[in-house]
Structure 1
Amino acid sequence: MPMKYVRASVFTAAALAGASGQALAARVDYTVDLGVEDNDNVTLAPFDPIQQRYLRAGLGFSVEENVSALQLNLDGRVEYRDYQDNVFTDTVDGTMSGRVNWIAIPERLFFTAEDSLSVQPVDALAPDAPGNRQQVNVFSVGPTLLFSMGQALHGQAELRYIDSTAEETDEFNSQRLAGALRAIKDLSATSRLSGNLQVQRVDFDDDVFGRDYNRYDIYGRYERTLAHFQLGADLGYSRLDYRSGGENRSEPLIRLDAEWTPTTQSSVNVLIASQFSDTATDALRDVSGERPPNTVPDNILTGDAVVNASPYEVRSLDLGYTFTGTRLTFSATPYLQDRNYVDSDEFDQDSQGARMDLHWIVRQFLTVSAYGTYEKLDYTSLDRQDTTTRLGATLSYQWAPRWSAHLMAERYERDSTDLGQDVSQTLIYLSVSYSNRP
């Protein structure tokens, strides 16, 4: 990770954490790990793999604050790998996801800052090797004004400045100005209806590959919240207007999100969407999503985003199940997605897959964690299909109040209909870690 991204990430983290003096009371959790990793195909080559054993170190952190004037949630991780024999230069990868909400005037004015720093591929069609990774950062900041239009009718006006930057893919770099106006009516103690108008102006740094455009969204939203059930539904219309000429696009906007909690330990959720989106918008949407409190990331996975300047029309269905018990936590999230790019059909894709996560406390000082991902991806214009699986497990033993040892193993396989794109890799990481909290 180049120093400019290290500086940007540190600056953003400091800005989020220091937005108010009250943030000094924030809860901070961190874990430092150091160990040796064995990799049987360090370059992810389809033939003649190179095996290496190298030093790996990581720092994961989580910052949380929730007081009357400030809500802060920030987590991230930095990893260093010391490769041997100059196969790759030593790498530093980092991820961070954070959101801070400062209430300047109670029930009237607040300021929100959000940041997403992730690791994404330079070439989405190539394997996930260290030479095919880049840092992608999306930062958003701006005020929200609340006002009343009657006893049960409320208004909300938003303004956001958004900056998106990619380490290698210059066409992604852009500045955006987004505004929204909302009218919200309380129908009852458990339901409300809102009308929403959103406008976004997108200006790309590289006008050769990125076409500047304006986006307009107008939709109604219905929300209902019960003891064990939550529902949200959006219905409206979206339009993309290109300022440099070309064909404009208009599509219906449809979204549905629902969550059912039949017991205190389990929940089921469903997300349905048909809408315009883009890589920067998706990054900020992930920041705004709910996350478990005080979660310290313990690894960095390269994302699967196509980092370019084109918006796309996406139709998706996501299902999720989560069980949280005293000793066992389990989640499974299958999904279907159809994505069609506006500016070029090269990356048009149909995908289906699932992710599974499990955490089991075997006994007081011994835990087992496991995860698995599966994806079948059809590039419809390229007549290509990639099937990717990733399985990982970690055995952790806490031998002192803040010290623990970990043995992690991961298997990655990718099968492709394109010749020479089949790759596989097995990682084993033996480490010792220190956490600031037992």
Structure 2
Amino acid sequence: MQPKYQCAYLRVSVIAASILACMPGTALAARVDYTVDLGMEWNDNVTLAPSDPIDQRYLRSGLGFLVTETNSAVQAHADGRIEYRDYEDDIFTDTVDGTLSGSLNWIAIPQRLFFLVEDNLSVQPVDALVPDAPGNRQQVNVFSAGPTLLFNWSPTLQGQAEIRYVNSDAEVTDEFNSQRLALALRTIKEFSPTSRASLNVQAQRVDFEDDVVARDYNRYDIFGRYSRTLAQFELGTDLGYSRIDYRQGESRSDPLFRFDATWNPSERHHLTVLASSQFSDTAVDALSSIEADATMPENVLTGDAIVNASPYEVRSLEMEYGFTNIRFDFMVAPYVQKRNYVDSDEFDQDNHGVRTDFHWRLRRTLTLGLYGTYESLDYTQLDRQDDTLRVGATLRYHWAPRWSAGLEWERYKRDSTAAGQSVSQNLVYLSISYSNR
């Protein structure tokens, strides 16, 4: 294993252990769920070559985990997965890939001071324009920590002051590596138990380690937010202004708009709509993707982030419909997005697609899963379009209370207008798993 991979996975263990160590009492106070699997995977194009594919079977093992703790002083969660692949014929060195998403909120003084730690470790491409082969992957980590001070001016009027230190690090793409200091002041007014409004002022100083390729900048945001929460409906809207000032004198500004709404007409159905027009970057996206109610990951997937130093303007619209029943659940999420990079227009893109997921409990001991994603990605400045399809199926048989056998199949296909970038791949994974619950 390469030294940087060893460091990345040491980081996974250290962060997970730190979350447990910070909890009151002992680590046994937290709920720890995990699944260990071991099996054989078959890949008909292990290098994702456009021609002359290499067919190979290799050993694959994984560990998925979910750690949660909630009490009056600490709210913490961490979910992640580590996978090891032992390739034949030394076509690739043996690889270890992993993901981790977690947060720890320590209430130091109730209703006055709390301390928040967040971390996101993911697998991203080194070059997003070429296929997702094992040689085109890197670990990307974004860490954030800092205090929040609360002011209670009246029963319906509160204030917040936040300070966050943020560190971003990529295994290969050094221009992404940065240190950040973020400050925020918020005033929150409650109109009723179901509605509130706030005024938010934020500032962020971004210092990149590689000053030759990356440009240091300051970002400023001011926006108002209104939110309303009812029994079956939730609504939130942000409206304001953002500005990016480069230390070299150049600046860029744009309106800020965000909208989110969720409708739950019954316990079985939910519909969510998200819309935004704002500045963002890869590090900000990584932290915003951390979810407190996440489930244990079943696979380590390579993301689709452009790992560089440039902020970008993003406009997006996404919908998600979900249905849950005793025996099956279903989700479908279409989306459209436009992304324009501030520093370089090479990766400017228009894309749209859809994600879907389905689970059906055929019998008490047998579960069928189906999933699929489709994306059409148009690189507007490169005159290139990539259409990517990923579909798969899983069949899992629980032959003992904590033991199960699984069969997974996946089909990946990318059609590209760029020469030599159209590829396809089929995977089959046969495994045995042990879960502690």
Smaller-chain TM-score bracket = over 0.9
Q: How does 1:113-192 map to 2 (within 5 A)?
A: 113-192=117-196
- Ranges of 4+ aligned residues in structure 1 off by more than 2 Å: 20-24, 289-292
| Greater mean alpha carbon deviation, residues 172-181 or residues 318-327 | 318-327
Structure 2 contact 261–274 (Cα < 8 Å) conserved: yes
Structure 2 contact 77–292 (Cα < 8 Å) conserved: no
Q: Choose the corresponding residue for 2:72, options 47, 68, 81.
A: 68
Q: Choose the corresponding residue for 1:101, options 102, 105, 110.
A: 105
Matched, 1:390 2:393: no
Instruction: Tell me the residue number matched to 1:275.
Output: 278
Q: Which residue identity is paired with 1:369? A: G
Instruction: Tell me the residue number matched to 2:378.
Output: 378
Instruction: Evaluate the alpha carbon distance shift between residue 413 and residue 42 of structure 1 in structure 2; reply closer, same or farther with a 3 A threshold.
Output: same
Q: Which residue identity is paired with 1:432? A: I
Q: How does 1:202-281 map to 2 (within 5 A)?
A: 202-245=206-249, 247-281=250-284
Q: Which residue identity is paired with 2:86? A: D
Counterparts of 2:394 and 2:155, CA distance in 1: 54
Deviations 1:211-268 (CA, angstroms, capped at 9, x unpaired): 00000000000000011000000000000010133x2000000000000001111110
| Greater mean alpha carbon deviation, residues 115-124 or residues 19-28 | 19-28
Question: Deviation at 1:419?
Answer: 1.1
SS in 2 for 1:196: strand
Q: Which residue identity is paired with 2:97? A: D
> For structure 2, which runs of at least 5 residues remain unmatched after alignment?
none
Q: Which residue identity is paired with 1:2? A: Y
Alignment RMSD, CA only? 1.0
Matched, 1:428 2:428: yes
Q: Which residue identity is paired with 2:342? A: V
Structure 1 contact 16–113 (Cα < 8 Å) conserved: no
Deviations 1:152-193 (CA, angstroms, capped at 9, x unpaired): 110011111000000000000001000110000011121001
Q: Which residue identity is paired with 2:201? A: L
Question: Deviation at 1:290?
Answer: 4.9
Q: Choose the corresponding residue for 2:288, options 280, 285, 292.
A: 285
Matched, 1:331 2:331: yes
Question: Deviation at 1:14?
Answer: 1.5
> For structure 1, which runs of at least 5 residues remain unmatched after alignment?
none
Q: Which residue identity is paired with 1:350? A: D
TM-score by length of 2: 0.98
Q: How does 1:393-408 map to 2 (within 5 A)?
A: 393-408=393-408
Deviations 1:21-65 (CA, angstroms, capped at 9, x unpaired): 245311100000000000000000000000000000000000011
Counterparts of 2:278 and 2:287, CA distance in 1: 16
Structure 1 contact 18–24 (Cα < 8 Å) conserved: no
Question: Deviation at 1:73?
Answer: 1.3
Deviations 1:385-415 (CA, angstroms, capped at 9, x unpaired): 0000100111000111111000000000000
Instruction: Tell me the residue number matched to 2:86.
Output: 82
SS in 2 for 1:42: coil
Instruction: Tell me the residue number matched to 2:305.
Output: 305
TM-score by length of 1: 0.97
Instruction: Tell me the residue number matched to 2:7.
Output: 4
Counterparts of 1:16 and 1:376, CA distance in 2: 39
Counterparts of 2:184 and 2:229, CA distance in 1: 24
- How many residues are aligned here? 433
